[in-house]
Structure 1
């Protein structure tokens, strides 16, 4: 049941009374009240968000209850925590009440891990790229913190307005299918071969060539390296599939077809990165590319060179980085209150009262989670826009007490940074006041993933790998043999169970103290 009144963002009392009446008439756990989920003025987006919450709630609640019971039966008495899309975590009972808070939580966990690992490695401005089998997720890390967005459109144009990490996703992954369309143009994705039947090289009946098949054809991966694949095909079968689907229509041999597939895929990946960087006023050359996921490190150096990014950071275990992000995340509660009033008309006392109430609710929510924390941080922010425009910018409210002049100055600076223009005669409108309460959990020591006990032995194995139109004999290194401080000059292939990392010719990789690969890409970037 969804209870959604037009002006509940301003006064939620009537929605709350309706919820009480509904519970008396029809007692159940699945009543979604729009003002409790999103206290913002736009009624369509608020109602849509509440409807998504109601749709997902029974399924997720039953799942979490079963999971919690199984953990207890196994002797685990710890609190079950659930990842949120905003980069924080909450306990299972809170997730059962508001499952919409978990939208995009998987990619958000990856962004949290990227920010944490990047800070420890000395890089606070990152472009985090998670490439798996079906998708490519990109997020921006600024000053060691993932950028947030207040809205997300699901399939079929369903808007969800809850705070979440700003992630742009395209259908480009290792399983993305390559084809030549009716106009004779090479396309890669968004269709995916998935895990079943998977790429042609998996030997599970897949007949359509994919990005993974192209990588195998060019020597970047080998059949024996696929986890969970017992009867992988070699280059002969893959060459036949590439030839019939791509090579014959475009008059290319199998190697040329594979190179073309990776070129098109790489262009799509670069375009996705430009959407979260260049189009938002950020120069990629000022960032480090953080590459993870099963396929991310395969394409990272070429991608960085394409965009002028000077270096790549590959974590110790790229394939499980998002899972690590769940362990690194802190408790978090977000609260928003819409005003939509000229900033000059906002009473400072009223704003302070709203902030205080939000902070109290957030602190109470964190206490109800019953999870130990080492500290609590309260962050106040304001959403502003110029009257008649649609560009909303969020600024921190750090001064003791709400100061409209300081808020206006911060907003003007953000606006000028984004659009390179100052509008002194325009009057800002205060759209919303936001408060985030963060409970910091005990940290995870990433040095546990660092130094290997086995000495490195570069060059024991090698194979031909195709780079820029030529085959080069390329050393094959095992990730768990790379000791801290080791320097690897490209070309080289670094293999491990969860991914393969390609170090292109001209690039230089160094293993840092946490076991990360820091790759200076060099070349014509």
Structure 2
């Protein structure tokens, strides 16, 4: 039997999921090693191998594909520990990065005390090059190659580790950028060079330049990680395929992954929609909200009814705008390790500070003294009172109670239980706000969606979150705590290519637009062919970035599958009006839509076949609880309720459990709140819904 492996490196744990060709799934977790992330990958491979009574080389012999998602690029950007970076600009435009768009990011636009984001490329390393391409692609001033060589000499003296090139209108005529990149490669061997016309060939100088700067800034560190991972696998004799998760949720090879390092910023969380699509057959909701709550953060994303992930091209990551398409993932500091505290005004706050893996929550008995969300869950009786992770992680409820008592209950003058409920409610409110960001602010009503849990912590919160959001249905995969690794293991390859064709819709040349889109699609298909995909395994989607003339707000419109001819431009206009109204609450049918940029996403099928919904078999008998224990719920804040505790392995397909109840799986805990019912609808999936 062959299988594929998904490996997701998170801030607290590294997850490894094995998916066999018959659909069987196994999950292994090991603590992450942030200083050298590849070491945790080796540890996870050891765990999976031992479970089979095999060595790592023997285990890898049966593996046809390994998919890896990593936060290495993201961490380099967020911690500002990237490479020393240089940037070549059209003479006179060296300061576009610092000018930004004339304002700060949203939320701080008029706050004069708010410092702008640090420059990734200092002024002395942003160098001018005499050249000029005009908006129509014609050359006004030829490239002064000596300027490029002089810049290379300065970069060498400064110890620059990566270089970006961003010239005006290069997406209309890339010749100058291409030649500058050739000169830099010759003058600075071993130093990666990123040209904007290759990375992001579309309108918008600032976002294009910033994306290039970010790409160069994180590229060396990401490249080192990829080398270490591939070296590790080679040391075990692995000869199968290895792919990496991009921010758009698709897979690519190691070379493209490093070249487009800015497309790796959301590498891990972007795989969650693949898992959501896999389970979508179990719900009739309009889409799925995926909430992945781990040890340090919670990631939210949506998958629409079409099973397509919600992509954005105007994301801001670590205060830096990125123009590359990426899954719309909202991350907040809300995890099991989020620290609770009472500020000087007597207000309870939870997160974003985290106890992380070390020392971790107080109940982990590793020296932590700050109360965390996990400690609150232990006090409330939601967690096993002796150990987590199937008995591998002993905990102390007394230490949890002491942390909550001393840091929350006493400052507020309330009981320990009421304080723990307060921590629980505040962290839930934070996550509800995050879910509204990916739904309401994107033109969706969360009440039309189902909630799918990811991460080891979410299932303890899901029922309360759903109630607060007006969601009637929660899907809880048994592989929840490794959801991203599972999504990686079943994801398809994906390449997104962009171009630019600014034109009012009534004036554009339909034949030219069709030709440009076809050219982008063929480039994507060629990349997939080089990765081993046959044409019959490929399909594509087309999008246009559009706005109203003389207005700022723009949106991405999916084009129906037809050849673009003048007679069908009206259908594109109608699709734009509808999308604009969904996003911004209004449309202007008497205004003229304007085309800005083009996008084509080409897919290569590499995931599992679509999952069949539950077969409707006769319900299994109700299981017997392993024990009962006192637990506290908001409905009875000061009074414990004797709550049945079930082992997941005792629950048969079709069995239903009424809340309140607790279900303990090896890597996650499900809390069924009063008024809710949990049912195992398939061997790999629970569904929780309002009772009655």
Same fold (TM over 0.5): yes
| Residue in 2 that maps onto 1:427 | 592
Q: How does 1:366-385 map to 2 (within 5 A)?
A: 366-371=528-533, 375-385=537-547
Match of 1:75 in 2: 237
Partner of 1:404: 569
Aligned mates of 2:607, 2:384 — CA distance in 1: 40
Per the TM alignment, residue 274 of structure 1 is displaced from its structure 2 partner at its CA by 1.4
Deviation, 1:52, is: 1.6
Q: Given that residues 489 and 607 in structure 2 are in contact (C-alpha distance below 8 angstroms), is that contact kept between their aligned partners in structure 1?
A: no
Contact 2:246 2:252 in 1 (8 A): yes
Instruction: Please list the CA deviations of residues 81-104 of structure 1 after superposition, one character each: whole Å capped at 9, or x if unmatched.
Output: 000110100011211222222111
Report what 2:475 is aligned to.
Answer: 313
Q: Does 1:289 align with 2:454?
A: no
Please give the alpha-carbon distance, in whole angstroms, between the structure 1 residues aligned to 2:535 and 2:472.
37
Q: What is the CA–CA distance in structure 2 between the aligned matches of 1:396 and 1:316, rounded to whole Å?
A: 34
Displacement, 1:502? 0.3
Give CA-to-partner distance per residue, 1:405-464, whole Å, 9 cap, x none: 22111111222333443412211110111111111125168689999xx99732231211
Distance in 1 (alpha carbons) for counterparts of 2:555 and 2:582: 11
Answer whether contact 2:647 2:665 (CA < 8 A) is retained.
yes
Of 439-448 and 191-200, more deviation after overlay is shown by: 439-448
Q: Deviations over 1:345-365 (max 9, x none)?
A: 211111011111101111111
SS in 2 for 1:275: helix
SS at match of 1:128: strand
Report what 2:671 is aligned to: 502
The alpha carbon displacement at 1:505 in A equals 1.4
Decide which of 119, 128, 132 is 2:290's aligned counterpart: 128
Separation of aligned partners in 1, 2:381 and 2:173? 63
Q: State whether residues 621 and 655 of structure 2, in contact with CA within 8 Å, keep that contact through their aligned partners in structure 1.
A: no
Checking the alignment, whether the CA contact within 8 Å between 2:386 and 2:396 is kept in structure 1 is: no
SS in 1 for 2:219: helix
Give, in whole Å, the separation in 1 of the partners of 2:520 and 2:554: 21
Give the TM-score, by structure 2 length: 0.72
Deviation of 1:374 after TM superposition, in Å, equals 5.6
| 1:302 is aligned to 2:439 | no
1:458 to 2:662 alignment: no
Could you report, residue by residue, the CA deviation over 1:158-201 in whole angstroms, capped at 9, with x for unpaired residues?
22221110011111111110001111111000100111001111
8 A Cα contact 1:316 1:449, kept in partner? no
User: In structure 2, do the counterparts of structure 1 residues 374 and 474 end up closer, same or farther at CA, with 3 Å as the change threshold?
Assistant: farther
Contact 1:141–1:147 (8 Å) recurs in 2 = yes
> Contact 2:336–2:373 (CA<8 Å) still a contact in 1?
yes
Q: Where does residue 146 of structure 1 map in the other structure?
A: 309
Q: Structure 2: how far apart are the matches of 1:445 and 1:430?
A: 35
Q: Please show how residues 4-153 of structure 1 align to structure 2 within 5 Å.
A: 4-28=166-190, 30-119=192-281, 123=285, 125-143=287-305, 144-153=307-316
Change (3 A) 1:65 1:241: closer
Q: Report Cα offsets for 1:462-481 as digits up to 9, x if no partner.
A: 21111122311111111122
Q: What residue number does 2:124 align with?
A: none
Contact 1:2/1:31 (8 A) holds in 2: yes
Q: How does 1:477-516 map to 2 (within 5 A)?
A: 477-516=646-685
Aligned to 1:438: 603
Task: State the match for 2:431 in structure 1.
Answer: 269
* Separation in 2, partners of 1:160, 1:44: 10
Contact 1:474/1:491 (<8 A) preserved: yes
The aligned runs of 1:164-175 (5 Å cut-off) are 164-175=326-337
The question of whether the paired residues in 1 share the 8 Å contact of 2:289 and 2:451 is answered with yes
- SS state of the match for residue 295, structure 2? coil
Q: Which moved more, 1:265-274 or 1:410-419?
A: 410-419
Q: Contact 2:365–2:399 (CA<8 Å) still a contact in 1?
A: no
Q: Contact conserved, 2:282 with 2:613, CA < 8 A, in 1? A: no
Deviation at 1:233, TM superposition (A): 4.7
Distance, in Å, in 1 between the alignment partners of 2:418 and 2:282 is 41
Q: What 5-or-longer segments of structure 1 have no aligned partner?
A: none
Once the 2 structures are TM-superposed, how far is the Cα of residue 389 of structure 1 from its aligned partner?
A: 2.2
Root mean square deviation, CA, Å? 2.3
Query: C-alpha distance in 1, partners of 2:393/2:254?
Result: 41
Is the deviation greater in 231-240 or in 485-494?
231-240
Give the aligned length: 520
Query: Whole-Å Cα distance in 1 between the matches of residues 393 and 257 of structure 2?
Result: 41
* Counterparts of 1:151 and 1:105, CA distance in 2: 17
Deviation at 1:54, TM superposition (A): 1.3
Q: Give the CA deviation at 1:226.
A: 2.4
Deviation of the 1:237 alpha carbon: 2.5
Residue pair 1:60, 1:99 contacting (<8 A) in 2 also: yes
Instruction: Give the CA deviation at 1:306.
Output: 1.0
Deviations 1:366-404 (A, max 9, x none): 111225686211211111111232221211222222432
